[in-house]
Amino acid sequence: MNIASILKEKSRDVVYVAPTMRVTEITGVLARHDIGAVLVLDSMLQVMGIVSERDIARCLAARGEATLGMTAAQIMTSDVVMATPATTIEEALEMMSQGRFRHLPVVDGHELCGLVSIGDVVKWRISQQALEVDSLRAYVQRAD
Ligand code: AMP
């Protein structure tokens, strides 16, 4: 099973911001969409970085109120680890646990085709396990 199976189940829309957006506005975007991270894309829609609530918390702890006036480009993580639709679910979990992050953008060639969170992966795994339990129950009942 791969990331493409998860993307099929969720919207491919990815919430993103421009590198010039200020932290005050970014917090509004995160709150409005009820999400924990946004991608930072350039004008060609190429990934420049990612800003998560953790980046904002870290910056607030280090720089205080000045954080609010800083831009996405100033606080983002620019070395973004990405998956492709063919990345397996196990590989994606390994990437997230190794890198200690919860968001994985998915790119197909140069095209951004989604963003998978640890929550999406856990939800998907639980539903797969429920399906397996159902089919094993049906199998055992047939054998009775
Ligand atoms: P998260 O757990 O995803 O909220 O993010 C924790 C930290 O990892 C933050 O500094 C993020 O900017 C960074 N981060 C989140 N996702 C990725 C990713 N796919 N690749 C690299 N860093 C990331």
Q: How far is the CA of 12 from the centre of ligand 1 (A)?
A: 19
DSSP 76: S
Does ligand 1 have an atom closer than 6 angstroms to the CB of 50?
yes
CA angle 105, 46, 106 (to 5 degrees): 20
Q: What is the DSSP string of 123-136?
A: HHHHHHHHHHHHHH
Say how far apart CA 55 and CA 80 lie, in whole Å.
Answer: 13
Say how far apart CA 53 and CA 38 lie, in whole Å.
Answer: 9
pLDDT per residue as tens digits for the range 127-143: 888 888 888 888 888 87
Q: Between 13 and 118, whose confidence is greater? A: 118
Mean pLDDT of the chain: 94
- Tokens matching residue 63: 């720089």
Say how far apart CA 104 and CA 109 lie, in whole Å.
Answer: 15
- Tokens matching residue 127: 């539903």
Q: How far is the CA of 72 from the centre of ligand 1 (A)?
A: 14
Q: What pLDDT score was predicted for residue 115?
A: 96
Q: Between 129 and 78, whose confidence is greater? A: 78
Cβ-based neighbour number of residue 47 at 10 Å: 19
CA contacts within 13 A on the Cβ side of 75: 31
Closest residue CA from atom 11 of ligand 1? 52
pLDDT per residue as tens digits for the range 11-70: 778 999 999 999 999 999 999 999 999 999 999 999 999 999 999 999 999 999 999 999
At residue 114, φ and ψ (nearest 5 deg) are 160, 180
| Ligand 1: nearest atom to the Cα of 50 | 12
